[in-house]
């Protein structure tokens, strides 16, 4: 393998994953598996590491959506930013036989003033390598980050998904809340003028003050058809 860092850093404390009680999840595993015991000795569920640039992490994400030519430097910068914030829990499944990341999901913590300065979780970027699908690994990675959200004290966890995946997430405890599960989007990456300004937090002036932003503001859309629904997992206090 080329270029793996000498000493690798976890994005967050891996011991957190050993504290999760998979019996608390409504997910039905057959056979039973968990983050600590994923069913095969060569499977490892763990936080993202900086060395995962060389384990195909970005190639895996490209099975979900467009990733782009992310250099090692850019990857490591983003990794450091996420680690410093403490609010990103990118979690992966590694096939240790191949040194390859074959599953991933992210918990992002959103800090609130409401609900007595509560925190909520967002489930993002769920993907399993297509040659490993149908073996419970999707369930495993989603349940892992969902239990992690509960363990960390989130009052709820939400995600956006296509209609065809609603049943998958419902089987893991997520619900469509009647009258409150629409997902709306405004895209900033469709105009070349705006696209050039999209390197997060590099802009010296607020995007909202620019003429391009005004144009884009006219394009607020609700996702139609099978595109997106928001489903939530409420945790009992
Ligand atoms: C969605 C995804 C993560 C599921 O991974 P997986 O490892 O195949 O999932 P599992 O083996 O744990 O399957 C769990 C259940 O969901 C169902 N399921 C999985 N993928 C599905 C899909 N695309 N559509 C409908 N049902 C699906 C399975 O049939 C299985 O049902 P069962 O428990 O009744 O047998 C995987 O298909 C994937 O990476 N898709 C591409 C990226 C994507 O769409 N991510 C989700 C973004 S919200």
Going from the C-alpha of 87 to that of each of 74, 79, 111, 121, 181, the distances in angstroms are 19, 12, 9, 9, 24
* Spacing, Cα 225 to ligand 1 middle (Å): 19
120 lines ligand 1 (CB under 6 A): no
Q: How far apart are CA 96 and CA 186, in angstroms?
A: 40
pLDDT of residue 190: 84
Atom of ligand 1 nearest to the CA of 133: 8
pLDDT of residue 236: 65
Report which protein residue has its CA nearest ligand 1's atom 23.
Answer: 165
Look at the block and give the residue holding tokens 């010296």: 204
Atom of ligand 1 nearest to the CA of 160: 48
pLDDT of residue 150: 98
* Spacing, Cα 134 to ligand 1 middle (Å): 7
pLDDT of residue 232: 85
The structure's pTM equals 0.87
Report which protein residue has its CA nearest ligand 1's atom 28.
Answer: 134
pLDDT of residue 180: 94
* Spacing, Cα 11 to ligand 1 middle (Å): 25
Cross-strand partners of 14:
none
pLDDT of residue 229: 82
* Spacing, Cα 202 to ligand 1 middle (Å): 36
226 lines ligand 1 (CB under 6 A): no
141 lines ligand 1 (CB under 6 A): no
pLDDT of residue 214: 29
Residue 225 falls in which region: left (phi positive, over 0), alpha (psi -120 to 50) or beta: left
Atom of ligand 1 nearest to the CA of 161: 48
pLDDT of residue 191: 78
Report which protein residue has its CA nearest ligand 1's atom 34.
Answer: 168
pLDDT tens sequence for the chain (237 residues): 555 567 999 999 999 999 999 999 999 999 999 999 999 999 999 999 999 999 999 999 999 999 999 999 999 999 999 999 999 999 999 999 999 999 999 999 999 999 999 999 999 999 999 999 999 999 999 999 999 999 999 999 999 999 999 999 999 999 999 999 999 999 998 877 666 665 555 443 333 333 333 233 333 344 444 566 888 888 865
Look at the block and give the residue holding tokens 């469509």: 176
- Where are any strands of DSSP class E within the chain? 43-47, 88-95, 100-111, 119-128, 156-161, 184-185, 221-222, 229-234
């Amino acid at each position: 393998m080329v270029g793996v860092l000498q000493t690798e850093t976890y994005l967050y404390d891996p011991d957190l994953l050993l504290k999760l009680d998979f019996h608390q999840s409504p997910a039905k595993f057959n056979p039973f598996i968990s983050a600590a015991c994923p069913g095969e000795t060569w499977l490892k569920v763990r936080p993202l590491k900086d060395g995962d640039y060389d384990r195909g992490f970005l190639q895996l994400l490209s099975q979900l959506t467009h990733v782009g030519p992310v250099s090692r430097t850019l990857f490591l910068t983003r990794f450091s930013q996420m680690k410093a914030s403490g609010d990103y829990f990118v979690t992966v499944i590694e096939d240790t036989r191949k040194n390859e990341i074959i599953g991933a999901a992210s918990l992002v913590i959103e800090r609130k003033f409401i609900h007595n300065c509560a925190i909520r979780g967002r489930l993002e970027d769920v993907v399993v390598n297509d040659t490993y699908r149908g073996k419970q690994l999707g369930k495993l990675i989603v349940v892992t980050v969902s239990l992690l959200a509960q363990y960390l004290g989130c009052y709820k966890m939400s995600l956006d998904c296509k209609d065809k995946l609603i049943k998958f997430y419902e089987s893991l405890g997520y619900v469509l809340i009647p009258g409150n599960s629409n997902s709306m989007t405004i895209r900033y990456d469709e105009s070349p003028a705006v696209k050039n300004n999209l390197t997060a937090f590099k802009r010296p002036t607020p995007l909202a003050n620019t003429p391009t932003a005004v144009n884009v503001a006219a394009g607020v859309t609700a996702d139609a058809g099978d595109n997106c629904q928001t489903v939530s997992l409420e945790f009992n206090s």
